Structure 1
Amino acid sequence: MGFSKLKIPRVCEQCSKPFEAKTVTTRFCSVSCANKSGKERKKKEKEQVEKETLLKKYANKIAEVQSREFISVAEATIMFGISKDTVHRYIKRGIINGVNVGARLTRVKRSDLEDLFSAVEIPDKSKEVPEKPNFEVGNCYTISEISAKFHADPGTVNSVIRRNKIPTKKVGSFVYAPKNLIDKIFDGK
């Protein structure tokens, strides 16, 4: 058979280094990368087969546990992915109900744990539309006007404006802040 003079630029699927392939089907830059890839593929296939056999072996047990009202602490840790200490801490704090049937026979109510880990709806904050600041002549205070009106130091006024993220506008040497936002903050104090 003849020798090909083709040099196809490729990237190795194993080590991600660029190389020049001599055939169209070449996937790896070297024999060692091909061997590593083969070993990883075989390892993943073996793990998949082990998972499937475990699921087949324990399918009845899993179905039985999911149908029972009370489950053991070990079963709770497997079902909900929490540690035994966390389950015992929740029982001690009264977050979930636990029954001690005997030595090392603590049972918890499955529905309590399901309620604990159920999804919580977060209210949508996008409905609140913030007011646009109005920097017109009659609708603004200067820093000195705020300090005179509310008997506060100008430094305190500046820190309150920064802390409450009140928008300001600087015109020349004067800093203006909207009256409605300033009045809301200082009327409460």
Structure 2
Amino acid sequence: MATSNFRIKKICEWCGKEFKAQKVSTRFCSHRCANFAYKRAIRKKRVQTTETQTQVQKTERIIEDIKEKEYLSFSETGRLLGLSRQAIYTMVKAGHLKASKISSRLSFIRRTDIDAMLQNKPYQYRMPKDTIPITDFYTTNEIKEKFGVKDSWIFHIAKEHNIPRTFNRGKTYWSKKHIDDYFAKKAPDPEIKEWYSTQDMQEKFGMTLTAIYSFVSKNAIPKKKVGIMVYYSKKHVDIAKGLIAPEEPKYYTIAEAMERFNLTRDQLYHYVKYHNIPRIKVGKYTKILRVELDKFFEPPKIE
């Protein structure tokens, strides 16, 4: 088999000399250096194994000595139970384990108290919560008629959101509760009263369908679907087009409040919590009432 004429300059990991290798994985310049490195690795592994065994023997000896003691310190109790000292303090504070405080710096735990704690608290298997049986179902046709969606859409959303289903005599039945919950989340804001259809936007703004879809996606325009028709919030479209001035938002996001008042996140949460400033939860985001936060941070008036 022909060898490659390709040569790579490398540094030997054993002797440090420069050499030319045929493969990028070559580490040593010669068989001699490779042998030396291999023997060093073997010695290092043996040393590590011996040190580990020694440490295990020392630990076992310490535990054996602890087992013979009647009174143990918190650290010794932790070693005996395989816990940290802080965990032992927590158990004593919670009343799970008895301890005797001799002085301000000296406390002991009796071995019999440890045994009593373990005997009085046997392991109990925690049974899983009983799941609520699903008794109400939609058929596929009922979902299509009620929400105006297609078969393929139903199966896609059910798979994406793990909506329970069952089969009976060739028909698919979907959990009514899960379907209703999904559409409730997708329901349009009830405060939005006026809507544009795509045809309205084409006529008023002279936009193509592609331009409309790009525009509403970029500006996060609220929408609703009625049958096969899609409608977009007239108010939000007009604001995005600059036809009307946007309303001042009622709430600060956390980032906006931090930037406006030059606060850290911890400081902001502290003020909101201890001064009962109203806040709401929108999905995973927290929003703070703008009026109340502005009022709290406004400078005092001198009359």
**TM superposition score category, shorter chain reference:** 0.3 to 0.5
TM (norm. structure 1) is 0.42
Relative contact order higher in (CA < 8 Å, ≥ 6 apart): 1
TM (norm. structure 2) is 0.30
